[in-house]
Amino acid sequence: RDVTLIRHAYVRPARQRRGIGSKLLAHLRKQTDRPILIGTWAAAAWAVRFYEKYGFRRVSTQEKDRLLKEYWSIPARQIQTSVVLADEKWQQAHPE
């Protein structure tokens, strides 16, 4: 595929705020030169904030629906309750 996907990657609550997520994300970013798309629950505001802190941005609702259908195999209800965040490479290649 032309992108790297991350879906529901979390650090256990008891281990959060110790730099584990930051290190994991940095490691994953080094593993690919492709754009990264992250799918997560819209209600997981803390997760969305974490990714936004590292330059990921939410895509539009229309783009989110298209991406979730194209790259993930999830039910329609899950598409409705999810968001997709894109890294800088994706944003540059797909300006909205």
Residue with tokens 């209800």: 77
Using only C-alpha atoms, the chain has a radius of gyration, in whole angstroms, of 13
The two counts, helices (H) then strands (E), for the chain are 5, 4
Q: Mind listing the domains of the chain with CATH numbers?
A: 4-93 (3.40.630.30)
Q: What is the pLDDT of residue 87?
A: 97
Which one, of 88, 86, 49, lies nearest residue 71 by Cα? Answer: 86
77: which 2 tokens? 């209800």
96 has pLDDT over 80: no
Q: What is the pLDDT of residue 34?
A: 96
For residues 39-50, give the mean pLDDT.
94
pTM: 0.90
